[in-house]
Chain A
Amino acid sequence: MTTVAVKPATMAQALTRAMRDAMAADPTVHVMGEDVGTLGGVFRVTDGLAKQFGEDRCTDTPLAEAGILGAAVGMAMYGLRPVVEMQFDAFAYPAFEQLISHVSRMRNRTRGRMPLPITVRVPYGGGIGGVEHHSDSSEAYYMATPGLHVVTPATVADAYGLLRQAIASDDPVVFLEPKRLYWSKDSWNPEHPTDVEPIGRAVVRRPGSSATLLTYGPSVPVCLEAAEAARAEGWDLEVVDLRSLVPFDDETVCAAVRRTGRAVVVHESTGFGGPGGEIAARITERCFHHLEAPVLRVAGFDIPYPPPMLERHHLPGVDRILDAVARLQWEAEG
């Protein structure tokens, strides 16, 4: 095997590598979806898998998401580990019934006799100039369904590590890939991918003492950027990358908020009924006496995802995050 030096890799490359390594390590791992074979996926994330492992292991399916996920259920029943690609966030909706009525609850329905180790990869979120139905943040739908793990990486190392964990999990995992980070680069050695924290753990990406930004996926780099900009205002912001929305890491989140006493949840998904409401409620229930200010949310507006020429107004940016931080009742301190 050739040795590859540490060099910048993209998130997309790390995801491909994760699937390739999982397929090489375990012959029951099967990748399937629309255009994943010959083309290598519309984002090229499955590039080369069909060539290396054959079309029976990386399969171009008919264009039917419920059929894809439904077939994956049957394959998992027979001992395979399907990794399903939903081409875009909004194209995954036809598969909702399979996901909710079967994938999420088969283990429970059968008292653990029929677990379904299925990974559902969903490129999600905006910021790539996609026309309508190509930029949804659909995580709240998945979070509201017991039995699913909902995971989203924000770094190249996590893309690899979390996807390997998702594929190895005996539970179904909805693996949300922030598509605008597909081409983000980081120093990462594919020959020696470092271990990452397990699914279910949040990670502090940037320590800070003034306030905690709680975020995930595509909004993590935005929050890191906001934290840098905040230094000019005299704020030392902490950034927590949630990584796993289900299971939710109350421990890490609460420890962070208790340290700083202030929290802002940041995500692209709509605010009303979005993940931020749940997270803010959990913090309030557990850390009320440590809070110096109400937990605030910076989220996408409560509108259908905007057309590409207007999406920059919708997506949480550095300014909107800093405006929220400014509203954390600092004056009350003095």
Chain B
Amino acid sequence: MTVMEQRGAYRPSPPPAWQPRMDPAPLLPDAEPYRVLGTEAAAKADPDLLRRLHAQLVRGRRYNTQATALTKQGRLAVYPSSTGQEACEVAAALALEERDWLFPSYRDTLAVVARGVDPVEALTLLRGDWHTGYDPHAHRVAPLSTPLATQLPHAVGLAHAARLKGDDVVALAMVGDGGTSEGDFHEALNFAAVWQAPVVFLVQNNGFAISVPLAKQTAAPSLAHKAVGYGMPGRLVDGNDAAAMHEVLSDAVRRARTGGGPTLVEAVTYRIEAHTNADDATRYRGDAEVEAWRAHDPIQLLERELTARGQLDEAAIEAARQDAEAMAADLRERMNRDPELNPMDLFDHVYAETTAQLREQRALLRAELEAGQDDKEGDLR
């Protein structure tokens, strides 16, 4: 037998360990952001739900403008506005059941409030009288997370723990487009998929990470496409379409709750305001772009749809506005009171039991404060 004949007997085969794991096609997001408002799908939407969403959007917008005003009055240290992104915020809160958990990032105060947290307690972090002002267990809302994407693995762990306990609890975690570049985003999505944890990841792609546009953040076809690499479905949605957002998030929540595993949802939206009141957006983007997005305003989109269908009249719009004004007035009034500060609190809750060292340091601060009172007794309120 010649060498060539011997070679002819050899049949190439794939490496022994390789086998196809899943068909990626069903995981792929739509080519364009999913929309409901202005399409035929809107006819099938529940008008009561849409009206509820509308009232919450109006309330959310007012909360944003009121909180921004409070920064100018020195009542808030800083406020990252979510104006323009209210549909994402409200839909995230409304897609969840009471027993579910929300994991917000620092721009998600609206979602926190829509979930039922007291509007003033939700601002404690940004006022600066403490870090987390609300009880996370009371409304099942994790602390607002400032370190980007670090809250995502928490959501995975909590959802995993709930599943291990046999509870049908879902965790919804919120992150921005910039946050998707962080390692924690990757690790969280990977863990979630491997564990089939009941988690929904909501990425609000608002175009900018402070000043850096998406093109400098990622070369992926879309952020939703990232899901495919982890083995979970990615959904691409119009983030200013409250009806679409609510539908997609509710589907993902239902899927997670019934054992279907995690979903990544990319909401395409826009940050109308600067990053925070301390930012100057004119340094990195033009008015034309902002105006184009103003024309795609989440409140206007929903209002037009509902009024065109005769499902929302002027009186209902006015009622929503008045409700929002009342909320803003209450927020203003309560935020204008000085928060009660007790410097001794600094040493509490560092450990379950205050250590000897911290007891010494507390005594030192107490002595300083008492001495200070003697020094300028007349100045004290």
Most buried by B among A61, A105, A112, A113: A113
CB-contact partner of B187 in A67, A80, A107, under 8 A? A67
Contacts of A64 in B (CB 8 A): 186-187, 190-191
Binary CB contact string for chain B from 280 to 313 against chain A (1 if under 8 A, 0 otherwise): 0000000000000000000000000000000000
Residue on B nearest A69 in the bound complex, by CB: B153
- Is B330 engaged at the interface, CB distance under 8 Å to the other chain? no
Binary CB contact string for chain B from 215 to 259 against chain A (1 if under 8 A, 0 otherwise): 000000000000000000000000000000000000000000000
Asked if B190 and A62 make an inter-chain contact with CB atoms under 8 angstroms apart, the answer reads yes
- Is B184 engaged at the interface, CB distance under 8 Å to the other chain? yes
Q: Can you give 16 contacting A-B residue pairs, CB < 8 Å?
A: A30-B164, A62-B194, A64-B191, A67-B184, A69-B153, A70-B154, A70-B157, A71-B154, A73-B154, A107-B351, A108-B350, A109-B131, A110-B135, A110-B136, A147-B350, A251-B356
Contacts of A105 in B (CB 8 A): 131
Cα-based distance from A102 to B130 in the complex (angstroms): 15
Q: Which of B136-186 contact A (CB under 8 A)?
A: 136-137, 142-143, 147, 150, 152-162, 164-165, 171, 183-184, 186
Cα-based distance from A56 to B160 in the complex (angstroms): 10
Asked if B355 and A247 make an inter-chain contact with CB atoms under 8 angstroms apart, the answer reads yes
Asked if B147 and A101 make an inter-chain contact with CB atoms under 8 angstroms apart, the answer reads yes
Residue on A nearest B352 in the bound complex, by CB: A170
B contact patch SS: helix
Asked if B188 and A70 make an inter-chain contact with CB atoms under 8 angstroms apart, the answer reads yes
CB-contact partner of A74 in B155, B165, B194, under 8 A? B155
Binary CB contact string for chain A from 205 to 221 against chain B (1 if under 8 A, 0 otherwise): 00000000000000000
Cα-based distance from A291 to B155 in the complex (angstroms): 53
Asked if A109 and B132 make an inter-chain contact with CB atoms under 8 angstroms apart, the answer reads yes
The 6 closest A-B pairs by CB, nearest first: A70-B153, A74-B157, A67-B187, A71-B157, A74-B158, A78-B161
A contact patch SS: mixed
Chain A residues at the B interface, C-beta cutoff of 8 Å: 30, 56, 61-62, 64, 66-67, 69-80, 82, 94, 97-98, 101-102, 105-115, 146-147, 149, 169-171, 200, 246-248, 250-251
The minimal Cβ–Cβ distance linking B103 to chain A, given in whole angstroms, is 8
Contacts of A111 in B (CB 8 A): 130, 132, 345, 348-349
Residue on A nearest B131 in the bound complex, by CB: A109
Contacts of A72 in B (CB 8 A): 157
Asked if A75 and B191 make an inter-chain contact with CB atoms under 8 angstroms apart, the answer reads no
The minimal Cβ–Cβ distance linking B13 to chain A, given in whole angstroms, is 28
Residue on B nearest A172 in the bound complex, by CB: B351
- Is B19 engaged at the interface, CB distance under 8 Å to the other chain? no
Chain B residues at the A interface, C-beta cutoff of 8 Å: 130-132, 135-137, 142-143, 147, 150, 152-162, 164-165, 171, 183-184, 186-188, 190-191, 194, 345, 348-352, 355-357
CB-contact partner of B350 in A77, A146, A170, A200, under 8 A? A146
Cα-based distance from A133 to B61 in the complex (angstroms): 51
Asked if B191 and A114 make an inter-chain contact with CB atoms under 8 angstroms apart, the answer reads no
Cα-based distance from A98 to B165 in the complex (angstroms): 24
Asked if B160 and A70 make an inter-chain contact with CB atoms under 8 angstroms apart, the answer reads no
Contacts of B158 in A (CB 8 A): 74-75, 77-78
Q: A70-B157, A73-B157, A80-B161 are in contact. List 19 more A-B contacts (CB 8 A).
A: A56-B164, A62-B187, A62-B191, A64-B190, A69-B153, A74-B161, A76-B157, A78-B165, A102-B150, A107-B352, A108-B131, A109-B143, A110-B143, A111-B345, A113-B132, A113-B137, A170-B352, A247-B355, A247-B356
Contacts of B159 in A (CB 8 A): 74
Cα-based distance from A171 to B183 in the complex (angstroms): 26
Residue on A nearest B137 in the bound complex, by CB: A113
Asked if B357 and A250 make an inter-chain contact with CB atoms under 8 angstroms apart, the answer reads yes
Known contacts: A61-B191, A107-B352, A110-B136. The answer to whether A70 contacts B357 by CB under 8 A is: no
Contacts of A170 in B (CB 8 A): 352
Known contacts: A62-B190, A113-B136. The answer to whether A70 contacts B348 by CB under 8 A is: no
The minimal Cβ–Cβ distance linking A93 to chain B, given in whole angstroms, is 12
Contacts of B351 in A (CB 8 A): 107, 147, 149, 171, 247
Asked if A101 and B143 make an inter-chain contact with CB atoms under 8 angstroms apart, the answer reads no
Contacts of A79 in B (CB 8 A): 161, 165
Asked if B132 and A66 make an inter-chain contact with CB atoms under 8 angstroms apart, the answer reads no
CB-contact partner of B183 in A62, A94, A147, under 8 A? A94
Asked if A75 and B160 make an inter-chain contact with CB atoms under 8 angstroms apart, the answer reads yes
Cα-based distance from A246 to B352 in the complex (angstroms): 13
Contacts of A82 in B (CB 8 A): 157
Cα-based distance from A108 to B159 in the complex (angstroms): 23
The minimal Cβ–Cβ distance linking B319 to chain A, given in whole angstroms, is 36
Asked if B153 and A66 make an inter-chain contact with CB atoms under 8 angstroms apart, the answer reads yes
Asked if A107 and B154 make an inter-chain contact with CB atoms under 8 angstroms apart, the answer reads no
